[in-house]
Amino acid sequence: MNERRIATFEVTPNIAVVKYWGKRNEEKILPTNASISMTLDSLKTRTTVMFDSKLKEDELWLNGKKVDLEKNAEAKERLKQLDVIRKKAGINHRARIVSINGFPTAAGFASSASGLAALACAASKAAGLKLSTQELSILARLGSGSASRSVMGGFVEWTKGEKPDGSDSHAVQVASPQHWPEIRLVSAVLTEEKKKVSSRAGMRQTVATSALYRSRQEHHLPRVLEEMRRAIRERDFEKFAELTMRESNSLHAVMLDTWPPIKYMNDKSHEVVAAVHALNEAAGRTVAAYTFDAGPNAHIYTLVENAPKVMVMLKKIRGVKKTVISKPGVGPRELTDSSAHLIDPRNGKVRKHCFDEKKNEITVTVK
C-alpha cells in the first residue's frame, strides 16, 4: 500500500523597509546585511504538499499548471529545501506540490516570498517534522531570501548571521502584528511585465561591481537598521517613513551604480515618488512613504487615517493598474479542514482549483 502524508498552509508576502541586496554565500543564500519587513495580511498563497511513496519524481503545480522541472532549472533549484526536509525526517518519498496565489496572476505582485515560505511550512509538516519558526525561516531562505521573513507575522528582521553554515541567519520578530494596528501598505501595480534582470542575477552583479554598494554596507545600513528597529518599536511613523524612503533610494542608487547598470524603477515609479513628496509637503509632515523592490511597482506605507489621501493621489496618476491595501499580517496559517487541500488526500490527485476574482477567494472543487 502506498503511503501519503499531506499538509496545507496559507502564507502572505512581506515588503521590506530595509532591503536585502547581496549574498555572502550563493548556495546557502546568506545575506551581506540584515533586512526588516512587514508581513502583510493580504495576497495569500495557498500550498498543499503531499509526500507519496508512489511518486517517482517531485512534481510542482503553480496556479493550475504543471511546471516542467526538467526544463525549468530555476524552479528546480528553488525546491532544494525538499531534500533537506527529507533528510531531517528520514523519508525518501517524492512530493507533489500544488500552489495557488489568492490574487490575480501576473498582477505584478511578487509571490516568491509567500510561495517559498508556504512550501517550507507545508512540506515540513507533511514530512512529520515539528520545526521552530527559526528552522522554518532557514528552510524558506534556501528557496528565496525574502521568504525567510514570511514565516512570521508583524515586523520581522532577517538577521545577517556570522556562521558559515547559516544557522544564525533567520527571522526574528521586531514587533507583533498587534503592535502597530494603524499601519497600512498601499501597493500600486504599474506594470504586469516580468522583470528583465532577476533579483538573483542583479544582486550578484551589484556585489561584484558597485563601489557605492560598499559605502551602503559600511555607512548607511548599520545606522538605518538601528534607527528602523527603534522607529517601529516606538511607532514613530515620521521617522519610519523617512528611513523607508531613503533606504529605497539607496537601494536603487546602488542598482544604477552596478556595471552594467540595472534599472528596475520606471518613469511611472518616479512619478509616484514625486507625488508622495508633494503629498507630504502639502500635509506639512510625512504622511506617506514609498518603497520599491526589484521592479517598478510602488508600495506606499501610511497610517489608516491617511490611506484615503494616498488612494486619491494614486488615482491621479495615469497608468496605475490596480491597488491593494494591506495591514500587518499574522503569518502562516495551517488549513486542517480536509476540503481546503489542493490535493485529494484519498487518492492523491490534484483537485480542481482556481482564484475567483469576483469573490476574492480560492475555490477548491471537492468530489
Window contacting ligand PMV (CB under 6 A); options: 98-106, 139-147, 270-278, 279-287: 139-147
Of residues 86 through 115, those in contact with ligand PMV by CB under 6 A are 112-113
146 lies in the site for ligand PMV, by CB under 6 A: yes
Angle at CA of residue 77, ends 80 and 71, nearest 5°: 130
Distance separating alpha carbons of residues 39 and 207, to the nearest angstrom: 27
Span interacting with ligand PMV, options 46-54, 63-71, 142-150, 298-306, rule CB under 6 A: 142-150
Q: Stretches 17-25, 71-79, 237-245, 335-343: which one binds ligand PMV (CB under 6 A)?
A: 17-25
- Select from 19, 125, 170, 341 the one that contacts ligand PMV (CB under 6 A): 19
> Counting contacts by CB under 6 A, is residue 13 touching ligand PMV?
no
The site for ligand PMV, by CB under 6 A, has a size of 13
What is residue 90's three-state secondary structure? coil
Interface mask toward ligand PMV for 25-54; x: CB under 6 A: ----------x-------------------
284-303: contacts with ligand PMV (CB under 6 A)? 293-294
- At 71, which amino acid appears? K
Taking the mean position of all CA atoms in its chain, how far away is CA 195?
Answer: 16
- Assigned C-alpha cell, 108: 505584478
Residue-wise DSSP of 14-73: EEEEE----EEETTTTEESS-EEEEEBSSS-EEEEEEEETT-SS-EEEETTEEE-TTT-H
Considering only residues 45, 47, 199, 206, which one is a binding residue for ligand PMV as defined by CB under 6 A?
Answer: 199
User: How far is residue 209's CA from residue 259's CA, in Å, rounded to a whole number?
Assistant: 6
Binder to ligand PMV among 144, 150, 169, 302 (CB under 6 A)? 144
Say how far apart CA 352 and CA 335 lie, in whole Å.
17
**Taking CB under 6 A as the rule, does residue 145 contact ligand PMV?**
yes
Contacts of residue 227, Cβ cutoff 8 Å, sequence gap at least 6: 239, 243
- CB burial readout 296-333, b (16+ within 10 A) else e: bbbbbbbbeebbeebbebbeeeeebeeebbbbbbebbb
Q: Cβ closer to ligand PMV: 81 or 280?
A: 81
Q: Name the one range near ligand PMV by CB under 6 A: 15-23, 87-95, 209-217, 353-361.
A: 15-23
Which residues bind to ligand PMV, rule: CB under 6 A? 16, 19-21, 35, 112-113, 144-146, 199, 293-294
